[in-house]
C-alpha cells in the first residue's frame, strides 16, 4: 500500500467521526421571487423535516412536502436548522458602535451610572458621531452586527429616520410591516417624565424601560407605582428589565397580561444581579430576551442566551425550561412587540424572515446554545437573502454583496440597497465602516 492509498483510507475512516459541517446546495430557478428551502425546520414549537416556500416577502407553505412554484430556486440544507428569524426584544442599536464598557463600580439603579462622570466620558464618542450627522451609519452598523447573529427584527431604534428601512426590521419604525405609526411606542427615559397617555386602540405594544436596578431598590419600585398611576400597566405593556421586582409586582404584571423583556448580561455587569425570572414565570409572564446594548450587554444574541442559561443554572435552579429558550428569541418577543401576526414563526402567511444555523447538536435548543457567529449559514429578511455563506450568495445574488471572513468562514453580506429610495440606502458596509472609523478610530468590531 503506498502512502497516498493509506491517506485515502485514513480520510474515509476519519470523516464520519469529524464535525458535521452544514452543507447547502442551491439550484437557481428562473423566478428570483420564489424559493423552496428544504431541511430541518424549527417552527419553533415543533421540529419538522420538510420544506418551506417563499413567494415574494411571504412564507406560503411549511409542510413535509410543498408544491414548488414554477421557476423557484431550490435550496437544500443538511446538518443545519432552519429557524424563524430571531427577534432581539431590546437593544439600543446606534450605541453598538461603542466598545465594551467596564464600569468603575457596581450600582443600585440606572440613574446612578447614567449620571456618573465615567459614563459621560464613555458615551462622548456616541454624541460626537451623532453631532456629525452619522446616525444612519451608526444604526446600520449596529443592524449589521445583529444580522450576523441571525437577528431579523430588533427593538430600539428611535423613529423618524427613513434610512432604517433597509437591512433588518426596526420594530418601532413599522419595520416594513403593514402597521400604523403608533403600533409600537417606546419609552426609555424616567417614567415620571412620560407625558400624556397611551391610546390602546392605536398602540398595541408599549415598550418601557422600568425598574432597572437591584432587587427591592426603592427608586426602581417607585417607577412601577408611577406606571400604574399613569394607567400604563396593560396587556400591551412590555416591561424592559423589571430587575428590582418581586412577588407583588410580577403578580400585578401577570394579572394585567403584561410582558417582560430580560437582558441578564447588562444587569450582571452593572448591578451584579438580574431579574427574578423564576417568580415572573410563576406569575404567568411571557419572557423575551434582549441584548440591551453591546457596551455592558452581550456582543450578540447567542452570548446573551448563554449568559441567561448560566444564570438559570447558577441562581434559578433550572426554573427556565429548555423549551423556553428558542421562544424567548422568536415567539415571545413577537408577541411583546405585537408583531406576532407577521414574524416569530415559520408559518404560511408570515413574513419570510428565516435564519439557518449549522447544527451543533441533535437537539435544536442545545444546538443554538453552542452556536457561534461562523455557524450562521443564511439570514433572509422578507424573502431577501441579506447574509449567508459566500458560496450560497454567489449563486443567489451573483456579483452583488460584500465578502467578509467570520472566524475563518467565508461569508457575504448585502448592505447596499438600490431598490428603496431612502437616504444613504446605496452605502456599502465598507463605506459605512470607513466613515465611522475615520471619525472614531475605536469603533467596536463587527464580529467580536
Name the residue nearer to Zn ion (CB basis): 292 or 303: 292
Rounded to a whole number of angstroms, the minimum distance from the CB of residue 110 to Zn ion is: 9
Rounded to a whole number of angstroms, the minimum distance from the CB of residue 271 to Zn ion is: 13
Strand arrangement, sheet containing 237-241 = 184-187, 205-210, 237-241, 259-262, 287-289
Name the residue nearer to Zn ion (CB basis): 88 or 292: 292
Name the residue nearer to Zn ion (CB basis): 292 or 299: 292
Name the residue nearer to Zn ion (CB basis): 165 or 209: 209
Query: 294 and 266 in contact (C-beta within 8 Å)?
Result: no
Rounded to a whole number of angstroms, the minimum distance from the CB of residue 132 to Zn ion is: 24
Rounded to a whole number of angstroms, the minimum distance from the CB of residue 341 to Zn ion is: 26
Name the residue nearer to Zn ion (CB basis): 296 or 359: 296
Rounded to a whole number of angstroms, the minimum distance from the CB of residue 240 to Zn ion is: 6
Number of neighbours of residue 118 by Cβ within 10 angstroms: 13
Of 191, 204, 24, 171, the closest CA to residue 88 belongs to: 171
What span, in angstroms and rounded, lies between the C-alpha atoms of 123 and 145? 19
Buried-exposed string 375-405: b where 16+ CB fall within 10 A, e elsewhere: bbbbbbbbbbbbbbbbebbbbbbeeebeebe
Name the residue nearer to Zn ion (CB basis): 91 or 312: 91
Name the residue nearer to Zn ion (CB basis): 72 or 261: 261
**Residue 351 bridge partners (DSSP):** 58
Name the residue nearer to Zn ion (CB basis): 171 or 413: 171
Rounded to a whole number of angstroms, the minimum distance from the CB of residue 92 to Zn ion is: 6
Name the residue nearer to Zn ion (CB basis): 98 or 346: 98
Rounded to a whole number of angstroms, the minimum distance from the CB of residue 114 to Zn ion is: 11
Rounded to a whole number of angstroms, the minimum distance from the CB of residue 212 to Zn ion is: 7
Name the residue nearer to Zn ion (CB basis): 194 or 200: 194
Of 360, 380, 411, 386, the closest CA to residue 52 belongs to: 380
Alpha-carbon distances, residue 98 vs 30, 109, 112, 145, 445 (angstroms): 43, 22, 20, 12, 9
- The residue number with the shortest CB distance to Zn ion is 292
Rounded to a whole number of angstroms, the minimum distance from the CB of residue 251 to Zn ion is: 24
Name the residue nearer to Zn ion (CB basis): 292 or 353: 292
Of 125, 122, 152, 151, the closest CA to residue 138 belongs to: 125
Element housing 130 (H / E): helix 117-131
Count helices and strands in the chain by DSSP H and E runs: 14, 18
Rounded to a whole number of angstroms, the minimum distance from the CB of residue 262 to Zn ion is: 11
What span, in angstroms and rounded, lies between the C-alpha atoms of 53 and 47? 16
What span, in angstroms and rounded, lies between the C-alpha atoms of 155 and 146? 11
Rounded to a whole number of angstroms, the minimum distance from the CB of residue 75 to Zn ion is: 36
SS3 for 156-185 is CCCCCCHHHHCCCEEHHHHHHCCCCCCCEE
68: left (phi over 0), alpha (psi -120 to 50) or beta: beta
The DSSP output letter for 422 is -
Q: What is the dihedral of CA 54, 58, 63, 64, to 10 degrees?
A: 20
Q: Which residues of the chain form contacts with Zn ion (CB under 5 A)?
A: 292
Amino acid at each position: 500500500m503506498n502512502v497516498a492509498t493509506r491517506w485515502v483510507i485514513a480520510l474515509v475512516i476519519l470523516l464520519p467521526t469529524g464535525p458535521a459541517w452544514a452543507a447547502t446546495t442551491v439550484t437557481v430557478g428562473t423566478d428570483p421571487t420564489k424559493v423552496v428551502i428544504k431541511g430541518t425546520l424549527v417552527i419553533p414549537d415543533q421540529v419538522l423535516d420538510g420544506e418551506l416556500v417563499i413567494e415574494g416577502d411571504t412564507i406560503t407553505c411549511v409542510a413535509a412536502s410543498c408544491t414548488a412554484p414554477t421557476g423557484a430556486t431550490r435550496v437544500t440544507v443538511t446538518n443545519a436548522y432552519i429557524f424563524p428569524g430571531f427577534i432581539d426584544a431590546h437593544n439600543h442599536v446606534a450605541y453598538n458602535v461603542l466598545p465594551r464598557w467596564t464600569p468603575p463600580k457596581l450600582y443600585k439603579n440606572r440613574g446612578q451610572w447614567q449620571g456618573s462622570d465615567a459614563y459621560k466620558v464613555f458615551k462622548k464618542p456616541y454624541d460626537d458621531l451623532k453631532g456629525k450627522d452619522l446616525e444612519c451609519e451608526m444604526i446600520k452598523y449596529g443592524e449589521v452586527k445583529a444580522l450576523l447573529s441571525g437577528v431579523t427584527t430588533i427593538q430600539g431604534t428611535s423613529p423618524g429616520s427613513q434610512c432604517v428601512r433597509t437591512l433588518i426590521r426596526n420594530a418601532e419604525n413599522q419595520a416594513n410591516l403593514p402597521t400604523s405609526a403608533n403600533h409600537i411606542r417606546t419609552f426609555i427615559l424616567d417614567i415620571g417624565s412620560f407625558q400624556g397617555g397611551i391610546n390602546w386602540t392605536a398602540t398595541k405594544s408599549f415598550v418601557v424601560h422600568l425598574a432597572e436596578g437591584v432587587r427591592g431598590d426603592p427608586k426602581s419600585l417607585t417607577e412601577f407605582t408611577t406606571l400604574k398611576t399613569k394607567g400604563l400597566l396593560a396587556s400591551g405593556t412590555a416591561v424592559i428589565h423589571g430587575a428590582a421586582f418581586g412577588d407583588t409586582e410580577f403578580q400585578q404584571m401577570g394579572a394585567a397580561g403584561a410582558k417582560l423583556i430580560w437582558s441578564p448580561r447588562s444587569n450582571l455587569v452593572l448591578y451584579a444581579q438580574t431579574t427574578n425570572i423564576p417568580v415572573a414565570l410563576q406569575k404567568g409572564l411571557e419572557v423575551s430576551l434582549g441584548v440591551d446594548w453591546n457596551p455592558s450587554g452581550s456582543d450578540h444574541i447567542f452570548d446573551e442566551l448563554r449568559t441567561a442559561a448560566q444564570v438559570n443554572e447558577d441562581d434559578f435552579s433550572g426554573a427556565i425550561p429548555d423549551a423556553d429558550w428558542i421562544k424567548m428569541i422568536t415567539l415571545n418577543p413577537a408577541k411583546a412587540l405585537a408583531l406576532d401576526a407577521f414574524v416569530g414563526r415559520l408559518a404560511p402567511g408570515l413574513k419570510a424572515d428565516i435564519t439557518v444555523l449549522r447544527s451543533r447538536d441533535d437537539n435544536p435548543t442545545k444546538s443554538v446554545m453552542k452556536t457561534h457567529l461562523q455557524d450562521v449559514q443564511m439570514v433572509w429578511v422578507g424573502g431577501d437573502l441579506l447574509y449567508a455563506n459566500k458560496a450560497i450568495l454567489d449563486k443567489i445574488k451573483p456579483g452583488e454583496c460584500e465578502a467578509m471572513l467570520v472566524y475563518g468562514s467565508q461569508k457575504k453580506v448585502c448592505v447596499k440597497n438600490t431598490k428603496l429610495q431612502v437616504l444613504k440606502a446605496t452605502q456599502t458596509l465598507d463605506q459605512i465602516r470607513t466613515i465611522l472609523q475615520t471619525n472614531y478610530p475605536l469603533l467596536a468590531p463587527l464580529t467580536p
